[in-house]
Structure 1
Amino acid sequence: MTADSTAFDETYRGRRIRGIRSAAGRAVGAGTWHVTVDGRPLHLMRRADGSWLSMIDHYRSYPTPLAAARGAVDELGPGEHLRDTPSTGHDQHPGGRHGVHA
């Protein structure tokens, strides 16, 4: 994925990762991303420094939305899946030791 990419679609560790950038009235390059893992939404947030984090791993920053999605897959592990819809805007992972990198 290059800096000017507007979409990605790949299989990573057996999971289907898709993402599409949506400008949504923002400046060029500052658009939001709609990202899914196995068809389920993964919420990403852009940090002030331009990096990205996911709701699966709040403690690591990634240089691109694709890298953040791959990081989320790494955190989920083989038997876990994202919820179909966010509950009330809180964490979208089922619990466990996610995000602990000591």
Structure 2
Amino acid sequence: MAVSADGVSVGAVQGAGAPVRSEPERRTRREVARVLLASAAVALAPVVTASRPARPADVQPDTGTPFDETYRGRRIQGAPLPLQGLSALGAEWQVTVDGRPLHLMRRADGTWLSMVDHYSWYETPLEATRAAVDELGPLRRLRDLAPGPFGGGHPHGEAQHGVRA
């Protein structure tokens, strides 16, 4: 414990020894940028939300209607396969582009993607098929698939001899 010049004892006080500033604290450029960015994000959130197309939650896009049309000079056809096994959710479709099969897959959120354009997803099988045609362009064609659900047997059902790399 210390004693001051006038004889009063001065003990340890919380915060004692901290420098006292008479000027307000100055913020760094980084702190100012964070505050401005956060303010802009809060101000723009309602604008972004309002700009999204409104779709009632109880109205789902029609994914069960077969199609047969010419799109960008290509004949696209598609129809849902009969319900069997896990396809009770309507997750199986037979789709062709110029007579060649295009595999579509249904995502967990109900949207669709194709083997050609598998980085984007679409509301209906028709939209996914049109996007695949857009991705193929006028010169490329779909390759024939290996044996599978479009008329061939399962490739592992036959006896395999030897090692294949």
CA distance in 1, matches of 2:83, 2:67: 18
Alignment gaps of 5+ in structure 1: 89-102
TM-score normalised to the size of structure 2? 0.48
Q: Identify the structure with the greater strand proportion.
A: 1
**In the alignment, what sits opposite 2:39?**
none
In the alignment, which of 123, 128, 131 is matched to residue 71 of structure 1? 131
Q: 1:4 to 1:58 in 2, by over 3 A?
A: closer
Partner of 1:67, secondary structure, is: helix
What whole-Å deviation, never above 9, does each CA across 1:20-47 have from its counterpart, x for those lacking one? 10133242x5241000000000000000
Output the aligned Cα RMSD.
Answer: 2.0
In the alignment, which of 1, 6, 9 is matched to residue 68 of structure 2? 9
Percent of aligned positions that are identical = 62
**In the alignment, what sits opposite 1:20?**
79
Alignment gaps of 5+ in structure 2: 1-60, 149-165
User: Are 2:104 and 1:44 equivalent residues in the alignment?
Assistant: yes
Q: Return the offset for 1:55.
A: 0.5
Aligned residues: 86
User: Are 2:118 and 1:58 equivalent residues in the alignment?
Assistant: yes
CA distance in 1, matches of 2:111, 2:146: 22
Q: Identify the structure with the greater helix proportion.
A: 2
* Worse-superposed segment, 3-12 or 67-76: 3-12
TM-score normalised to the size of structure 1? 0.75
Structure showing greater Rg: 2
Give the number of the structure with larger relative contact order, counting CA–CA contacts within 8 Å between residues 6 or more apart.
1
**In the alignment, what sits opposite 1:96?**
none
Aligned partners of 2:76 and 2:95 also within 8 Å: yes
CA distance in 1, matches of 2:70, 2:125: 15
* Worse-superposed segment, 78-87 or 10-19: 78-87
